[in-house]
Amino acid sequence: MQIHVYPEEILYNVLAEKITGLIEQTLLVKEIFTWALSGGETPKKLYNTLAGEPYREKINWSRVHIFWGDERFVPFTNNDNNAKMAYDSLLSKIPIPPEQVHRIWTDVEAEQSVKQYEQVLRDFFDTRETTFDLVLLGLGEDGHTLSLFPGDPIPNEQHWVSPVSSDKKGIRITLLPGIVNKASSVFFVVTGEKKAGIIKEILSTETPPLSYPAMLIQPYNGELHWFLDTSAAEFIT
């Protein structure tokens, strides 16, 4: 695990450079680059950066396949939909073939959506030693990541995708730790002083293992990076 701390005003450019370099290096040895996106305000700022120059032209988007780590089960037209946010901030502004964007469908029943998305992922990754080339993750103030929340049971790990629901959070569809931990690289991106306390707990060796869902993300053979702004990193040394 590697921890990177930057002022927020340069964090997104640093990340954009890291991702651009990772894509370039991967495409030297593989035909495509597979990337699972995250929802949230912090990733949105990164997507806005990637949609601008020089990254819009620097990245070979024709060889990139886009996926999502989780999705709120609301229509694509709803502003809470993670795919809509990514389309508005990034995907509508870059030259990526539409058939290479694999979103989680919310215009069918949730169970059907789960089956469809799992099949898409199996078609891509079932015969490979690794899954995604990059998974981008955020972190909630409560320590949740993807749509896995503290205190909730982790669904059946025989599957890669699962529905989760509660009265408070509504219905969501999420990747499970098993498929994420087979990724080549996982980048957590966390900003803001409100998350400094939870960052300290998650990254502390004194915190009991598996206290928070984010602690379940430990790539088997891949790299794990935490990108923090100075506010989020306030309590770590």
Q: Tell me the C-alpha distance between 159 and 161, whole Å.
A: 6
pLDDT at 237 over 80: no
Domains and CATH numbers, the chain: 2-229 (3.40.50.1360)
**Once rounded to an integer, what is the mean pLDDT over residues 172-201?**
97
**Once rounded to an integer, what is the mean pLDDT over residues 74-91?**
96
pLDDT in tens, 16-33: 999 999 999 999 999 999
**Confidence tier at 167 by pLDDT (50, 70, 90):** low
12: burial class by Cβ within 10 Å (0-12, 13-18, 19+)? buried
pLDDT at 12 over 70: yes
pLDDT at 56 over 80: yes
